[in-house]
Chains A and B, each alone.
Chain A
């Protein structure tokens, strides 16, 4: 589904991403962990063609992302508030997303209603997105990323502003995704990542330090990696 080779990005001479080779299969759920500045968001932005790489290639479904817009039809992403249109109501925004995918008419309501578990009263009201709380904005973006059954879903720290119930709803949504859908999720919450991921990708200084399974030893490796070590 995703193939990355020799991907490099620098900001002011500092390495932000440097991935030698990475392949993600169709239908996998990949959790991405790493400390701040590890390159998770930059990697996502390169995957979504929002940044010009200094070198290397990114491919989605065997097609390069750069200079090709075919991936937009089957990719849903929510990285931050820039992925929302602030002067639309949530409903209008979701309709916009579905219309952009070529979905119109009665199907729209059907798609939106399938995410009932994330809909709060505020999201059903006529409030504009800019008037919503951070948690509700995240809900709007997450629902938008799932709308229209995309083949690839990219979520950057989606749990950050969600209440505990919504976090569990999201975990269920990801776990019960269609078999062919590939999901990339980054998070600082190791528990959430462990619950949903088939594989965990550990990033450090822009590079993929390790790809871990969910075996006991691998999970304890991750715990160890993030443990606070007092400097002597």
Chain B
């Protein structure tokens, strides 16, 4: 790992932990009234943990559950180095577990014995989960440890003596459980290392950033050239930087107002949609014009649908960055977690397609390496109106619906629309693709002439 990557990893790690803390603060607000009984809440957390783990593994796995195990251990045949093994344990499951630790650390009404039981429970969950993964990888140590775990649970019910030992562990709490967990993980870690260095391994493992089930792959050449477009050209870079500064600044100025008086649902939706959808709309409404100077090469080298999918991926990544920024709202308004999730789902599942659809109307050529400030090249009335429609139309619909159905139901409907968009993404892609096919000659000609 080079210096820059290490720095990024450390910085990114801190950032993720900070946001997870915020997220768990928000989660706590929702969980507390739902599960006033602390035991029920602990069960809810356990179920949430395992469900999200399964869900994420399902998303990450390219084919079937049979390969379920491989997606937390991205070791390929050519690179079973320490770095890969390290990365294997900085996996999505453990990051989630970290999230639940931060939930615990956020200290929501946890006291006395419960605190100990709760933490022990989480540790057991994490270790069981890791062991399950290793078990599926045929790790011998993992099998032994798992059998011990299961065996101790059976013995716990059968024999009084074991029961005492078991209670002792719980009573001594964190330290004992932590030691068991650490020993299990280290033992399994060593075992896996020998397993992969001693045997020829057919590289089924995929890096963490590949999500083949959704076609997410950072190696996508079209996507990568567009990432370089943003980094290396003044106008898209300026636009991105101004966005990254503006919403946090807006939230900073609004924070006191949000703390004192809760905004109406309509205002909250607008604020969240502006933050979450704003970045994709800002970048996306200029859409294909970003490529106007080299549109011919894309049209003769790449399939239109591949280009569309790459654009979708890029806008989704921008949406995800924006969701992290939107989590800052939780500082002032912890109860805003549900609206944030609903708006994020709507934007990723549906809003992005509106942006992609409208892209085809932008037929003005722009010089991407000219500064973005006070630069209106490529923007005429249509390009001015499009982002306004993209931003305000959903807000207007939300406001009207919330008058009829109430805000909670309307947020839920918007989230459901987003989920439906994710499920029917192929149909939506086809719709946008046909629209682009219809407009492509028009775009090619205009980019050439203007």
Residue in contact with A69 in the complex, picked from B232, B294, B304, CB distance below 8 Å: B304
**B262 CB–A CB distance under 8 Å:** no
User: Are A82 and B293 CB-contacts (below 8 A) given A50-B300, A99-B221?
Assistant: yes
Return the chain A residue nearest B447 by Cβ.
A82
**B444 and A92: CB pair below 8 A?**
no
**B221 and A96: CB pair below 8 A?**
yes
**A88 CB–B CB distance under 8 Å:** yes
**A75 CB–B CB distance under 8 Å:** yes
**B294 and A86: CB pair below 8 A?**
yes
**B296 CB–A CB distance under 8 Å:** yes
What's the minimum C-beta distance from A210 to chain B, rounded to whole angstroms?
29
**A77 CB–B CB distance under 8 Å:** yes
**A82 and B295: CB pair below 8 A?**
yes
**A72 and B297: CB pair below 8 A?**
no
User: Are A85 and B297 CB-contacts (below 8 A) given A51-B445, A69-B304, A99-B221?
Assistant: yes
**B233 CB–A CB distance under 8 Å:** yes
**A100 and B368: CB pair below 8 A?**
no
What's the minimum C-beta distance from B131 to chain A, rounded to whole angstroms?
36
Residue in contact with A50 in the complex, picked from B225, B299, B304, B369, CB distance below 8 Å: B299
**A75 and B300: CB pair below 8 A?**
yes
Measured CA separation A122–B225 after assembly (Å): 21
**A130 CB–B CB distance under 8 Å:** yes
What's the minimum C-beta distance from B212 to chain A, rounded to whole angstroms?
16
The size class of the interface chain B forms with chain A is: 20 to 34
**B444 and A51: CB pair below 8 A?**
yes
**B77 CB–A CB distance under 8 Å:** no
**A97 and B444: CB pair below 8 A?**
no
Residue in contact with B301 in the complex, picked from A51, A52, A86, A97, CB distance below 8 Å: A97
**A50 and B296: CB pair below 8 A?**
yes
A-chain residues with CB within 8 Å of residue B299 when the two chains form the complex? 48-50
**A84 and B300: CB pair below 8 A?**
no
B-chain residues with CB within 8 Å of residue A49 when the two chains form the complex? 299-300
**A83 and B228: CB pair below 8 A?**
no
Chain B interface SS verdict (over half): helix
What's the minimum C-beta distance from B372 to chain A, rounded to whole angstroms?
15
A-B contact count (CB 8 A): 66
The size class of the interface chain A forms with chain B is: 20 to 34
**A87 and B232: CB pair below 8 A?**
yes
User: Are A100 and B296 CB-contacts (below 8 A) given A50-B444, A87-B228, A87-B369?
Assistant: no
Q: Which of B217-244 contact A (CB under 8 A)?
A: 221-222, 224-225, 228-229, 232-233
User: Are A72 and B441 CB-contacts (below 8 A) given A82-B295, A85-B294, A96-B225?
Assistant: no
Residue in contact with B296 in the complex, picked from A83, A86, A99, CB distance below 8 Å: A83
Measured CA separation A85–B225 after assembly (Å): 9
B-chain residues with CB within 8 Å of residue A51 when the two chains form the complex? 441, 444-445
Residue in contact with A87 in the complex, picked from B221, B296, B368, CB distance below 8 Å: B368
**A32 CB–B CB distance under 8 Å:** no
Measured CA separation A69–B221 after assembly (Å): 18
**B425 CB–A CB distance under 8 Å:** no
**B206 CB–A CB distance under 8 Å:** no
**B297 and A83: CB pair below 8 A?**
yes
Measured CA separation A95–B220 after assembly (Å): 12
A-chain residues with CB within 8 Å of residue B256 when the two chains form the complex? none
User: Are A84 and B441 CB-contacts (below 8 A) given A96-B225, A100-B301?
Assistant: no
**B302 CB–A CB distance under 8 Å:** yes
**A82 and B221: CB pair below 8 A?**
no
User: Are A130 and B221 CB-contacts (below 8 A) given A77-B300, A83-B300?
Assistant: no
B-chain residues with CB within 8 Å of residue A100 when the two chains form the complex? 221-222, 301-302
**B303 CB–A CB distance under 8 Å:** yes
Interface string of B369-390 (1 = CB under 8 A from A): 1000000000000000000000
Residue in contact with B293 in the complex, picked from A67, A75, A86, CB distance below 8 Å: A86
**A79 CB–B CB distance under 8 Å:** yes
What's the minimum C-beta distance from A211 to chain B, rounded to whole angstroms?
26
A-chain residues with CB within 8 Å of residue B293 when the two chains form the complex? 82, 86
**A111 CB–B CB distance under 8 Å:** no
Measured CA separation A85–B152 after assembly (Å): 63
Interface centre among B293, B295, B296 (most CB of A within 10 A): B296
A-chain residues with CB within 8 Å of residue B448 when the two chains form the complex? 82
Q: Which of A23-41 contact B (CB under 8 A)?
A: none
Residue in contact with A52 in the complex, picked from B224, B229, B295, B441, CB distance below 8 Å: B441
Return the chain A residue nearest B368 by Cβ.
A87
Measured CA separation A79–B224 after assembly (Å): 24
Interface string of B290-326 (1 = CB under 8 A from A): 0001111101111110000000000000000000000
Measured CA separation A85–B221 after assembly (Å): 13
**A88 and B441: CB pair below 8 A?**
no
Given contacts A87-B233, A96-B224, 12 further A-B contacts (CB under 8 A): A52-B441, A82-B293, A82-B448, A83-B294, A85-B294, A86-B293, A86-B294, A87-B228, A100-B221, A100-B301, A128-B232, A130-B369
Between-chain CB contacts (< 8 Å), 23 pairs: A48-B300, A50-B299, A50-B300, A51-B441, A52-B441, A67-B437, A69-B303, A69-B304, A75-B300, A77-B300, A79-B296, A80-B296, A82-B297, A83-B294, A83-B297, A84-B297, A87-B228, A87-B229, A88-B228, A92-B225, A96-B221, A96-B301, A97-B301
Q: Which 3 A-B pairs have the closest CB atoms?
A: A99-B221, A82-B296, A52-B441
